[in-house]
Amino acid sequence: MMSFVGILDSLALRKSELIERFERLIAPTSDCELEAMAQTSRTLTTQNFGRTMRLFAPLYLSNECINNCQYCGFSRDNPILRVTLDVDEVVAEAQHLARQGFRQILLVAGEHPKFVSGNYLVECVRALAPDFSSISIEVGPMDTEDYVPVVEAGAEGLVVYQETYNRGVYAEMHTAGPKRDFNYRLDCAERGYSAGFRRLGVGALIGLSRWQDEAIALAAHLEHLFKHCWQAQISVSVPRLRPAAGGFRPVFAMADREVVQLVCALRITFPQVGIVLSTRERAPLRDALGLIGVTMMSAGSRTEPGGYTRQGREHLHRTVRGRIVAAEYQDGEDEVATGQFEISDERSPAEIAAVLRRCGIEPVWKDWDQALCGA
């Protein structure tokens, strides 16, 4: 399969017609033009997805990590409270989510081959598969042959955000650990596809470089994946950086209005792409984007392992520069693992579902295909 690496590296010189059109769609625009874009986007979303919203929940398995990413609270050098849930604890967390109605789950973990091994992921997925119609993973990139058993255990989705498509900024942001390998990460979606994943999620963290540059590279990545991974459902996300442990602040801002424009531009350019929005964004913006182009939302999220039911408290520990020390609690610190970032939309899944219904959007808690079969 042809790698996206060469296309990305020549993007400044050569863009497809589709990407040139996308670039025009994200250029500064009047209110009138943006309103017209929003209407087109809304129509295309309804045509391709109906008036539905897939609801999913992230389940953090572990916040151990051997990488240092300047913007992330889980970075190795941050002296935070860490834990890796054992499989029973993962199941307990998942049951809590199932009781809230979720049947689509995203397993999230930092990158740590010792704690978050391929076998561990297989065991987690296997334990959850009977109760969830859609399981996706968002963990450190792996080789194709290591993905295969995870797919066989029942995972169908792979989410890997490039974070930034700018090589220079990427090198500055990722100062230690295997994540420094930009190209290995860039080709991850295709490796996952070869292993059998049939939902692929890509994205860029907004705030590390100019959002317009990230968006163009991301759109080119989408175009590439639609061409080469045509049997998969492709989704995209453009999370704006949130405050996290370590104190990193976004370098480049993106206004709400620009987020709306970007979602519209993605929808108009890729009518079939799933657009994912997390609880990083505030409730009013989420509600507005739900009407315009977003098709998948997380709800009621916690970003710390054990965050739903306080699992894993017994083996919490602190790490100092990667070394484990006893978990002594600092003033005001709760006895739970540290979260990845702050949540903005604190509403419960039921509240979010009710708001969607009031807007005429049907929340979908489980996998489309199975829902259609009445399973």
- Residues at the interface with ligand SF4 (CB under 6 A): 65, 67, 69, 72, 74-75, 110-111, 179
Minimum CB distance to ligand SF4, residue 164 (Å): 12
Q: How far is CA 284 from the centre of its chain?
A: 20
Minimum CB distance to ligand SF4, residue 140 (Å): 6
Cβ neighbour number for residue 373 with a 10 Å cutoff? 8
**In this structure, what DSSP letter does residue 204 have?**
B
For residue 320, the cross-strand partners are 323
Contacts of 332 by beta carbon, 8 Å cutoff, 6+ apart = none
Minimum CB distance to ligand SF4, residue 292 (Å): 28
Nearest to 62 by CA among 88, 97, 90, 94: 90
Cβ closer to ligand SF4: 116 or 289?
116
Minimum CB distance to ligand SF4, residue 22 (Å): 27
Minimum CB distance to ligand SF4, residue 48 (Å): 31
Minimum CB distance to ligand SF4, residue 112 (Å): 8
Cβ closer to ligand SF4: 29 or 303?
303
Distance of alpha carbon 236 from alpha carbon 197, whole angstroms:
15
Nearest to 110 by CA among 147, 70, 83: 83
Cβ closer to ligand SF4: 41 or 164?
164
3-state SS string for 149-160:
HHHHHCCCEEEC
Minimum CB distance to ligand SF4, residue 311 (Å): 19
Cβ closer to ligand SF4: 108 or 352?
108
Cβ closer to ligand SF4: 224 or 318?
318
Cβ closer to ligand SF4: 48 or 175?
175
Angle 36-40-43 from CA coordinates, rounded to 5°: 140
Cβ closer to ligand SF4: 239 or 363?
239
Cβ closer to ligand SF4: 111 or 281?
111
Nearest to 148 by CA among 196, 188, 199: 196
Exposure string of 45-73, with b = 16+ CB inside 10 Å and e = fewer, is: beeebeebbbbbbbbbbbbbbbbbbebbb
Minimum CB distance to ligand SF4, residue 255 (Å): 24
Burial of 241 by CB count in 10 Å (0-12 exposed, 13-18 middle, 19+ buried)?
buried
Angle 126-129-135 from CA coordinates, rounded to 5°: 105
**In this structure, what DSSP letter does residue 200 have?**
E
Cβ closer to ligand SF4: 93 or 138?
138
**Exposure on the CB side of residue 261, measured as CA atoms within 13 A:** 21
Minimum CB distance to ligand SF4, residue 29 (Å): 32
